[in-house]
Amino acid sequence: MGLRKKIKKFIYNNNINRKYGKFATDKTIKKNWNKIFLNKISFVNLAVANVLRKKGHCFYLEIGCDDNVTFNSISLPKKYKYGVDPRDGGNIRKTSDLFFKNNKKKFDVILLDGLHEYEQTQRDLLNSLRFLNNNGYIFIDDLIPLDWKMELVPRIQGRWNGDVWKIGYELSKSKNLKFKIIDIISGVGYLRKVKKKLKYNKMNNVLKNQRFKDFLKIYKKLPIISGEKALKLVGYE
């Protein structure tokens, strides 16, 4: 690294630490996700395949498509795939809030990977539950941040989970649902309703201002399951 880049990096890190230093911690969560062959695309496709076996068709919704890596990897004809993103990717150029406001369609498999902020993802989840078919699946990306910079809102680096982990904690305290966090890259939530009336435990007043240090306190209490064990959840024996 040249001297100019070193100076620029030093100034940037100094500014970050001055502005957000109160959230900083040397503690991290260690993961070897790169050695795991399963990822969110694997599980979404397995869920889609399971729905197809039972119904013969499957309607898929993805919130947050970006470069379409996931959206293009879902094994369904275009007419069954709905990808919502206000900027890039997908096939519907709207915010998720606007999409759900006008939507009348129901879906069998939904992936939430939009803005990685707690309250926005909470709205996306509650809206998704309204439009989820019976026995449908919802997957929620980015539930396990590994360090404070990955978790911080606003975003300060490329690799970013945001504070979506708060949704995982709320779901772990909710009723009439099946919920697990699959221990694959970024931490992927798996959700299915057990009864029509899901009792979602909104905890905005408690969680809104919590940060990575708080996540570390509850991390080991979350319903985390290995990728291999989670295969059964999507009908793969």
What CATH number is attached to the domain comprising 114? 3.40.50.150
Asked whether residue 210 is assigned to any structural domain, the reply reads yes
Q: What is the pLDDT of residues 105-145, one digit of tens each?
A: 999 999 999 999 999 999 999 999 999 999 999 999 999 99
Calculate the alpha carbon distances from 162 to 51, 210, 231 in Å.
31, 12, 26
Instruction: Check: CB of residue 176 under 8 Å from CB of residue 199.
Output: yes
Asked whether residue 139 is assigned to any structural domain, the reply reads yes
Asked whether residue 148 is assigned to any structural domain, the reply reads yes
Quote the number of domains for the chain: 1
- Higher pLDDT: 235 or 3? It is 235
Instruction: Give the phi and the psi of residue 101 in degrees, each rounded to 5.
Output: -60, -35
Range of the domain at 52: 40-234
Q: What is the pLDDT of residues 57-84, one digit of tens each?
A: 999 999 999 999 999 999 999 999 999 9
**What value, to the nearest 5°, has the Cα angle with vertex 151 and ends 68 and 225?**
75
Q: How confident is the model at residue 55 (pLDDT cuts 50, 70, 90)?
A: very high
pLDDT of residue 18: 80
Strand partners, 177: 193
Query: Mean pLDDT for the chain?
Result: 95
Mention every residue, 6+ apart, whose C-beta is less than 8 A from residue 27: 147, 213, 216
Range 167-171, long-range pairs (CB < 8 A, 24+ positions):
167/118, 167/121, 167/122, 167/125, 167/140, 167/143, 168/140, 168/143, 168/222, 169/203, 169/207, 169/218, 169/222, 170/122, 170/200, 170/201, 170/202, 170/203, 170/207, 171/200, 171/201
Asked whether residue 46 is assigned to any structural domain, the reply reads yes
Measured between alpha carbons, how far is 232 from 237 in angstroms, rounded to an integer?
Answer: 6
Measured between alpha carbons, how far is 116 from 99 in angstroms, rounded to an integer?
Answer: 18
Instruction: Name the strands in the sheet holding 188-193, side by side, starting at the edge strand that comes first in the sequence.
Output: 81-84, 60-63, 107-112, 132-140, 188-193, 177-183, 224-226
Q: What is the pLDDT of residues 189-230, one digit of tens each?
A: 999 988 778 899 999 999 999 999 999 999 999 999 999 999
Asked whether residue 35 is assigned to any structural domain, the reply reads no
Asked whether residue 6 is assigned to any structural domain, the reply reads no
Q: Is the pLDDT of residue 151 over 80?
A: yes
Mean pLDDT of 85-92: 97
Tokens of 144: 């396990």
pLDDT of residue 224: 98
The structure's pTM equals: 0.94
Asked whether residue 13 is assigned to any structural domain, the reply reads no
pLDDT of residue 1: 66
Q: What percent of the chain has a predicted confidence (pLDDT) above 70?
A: 99
Asked whether residue 143 is assigned to any structural domain, the reply reads yes
Mean pLDDT of 88-100: 98
What's the sign of the alpha-carbon dihedral 50, 164, 222, 35?
positive
In angstroms, how far is the first alpha carbon of the chain from the final one? 49
Tokens of 191: 């959700």
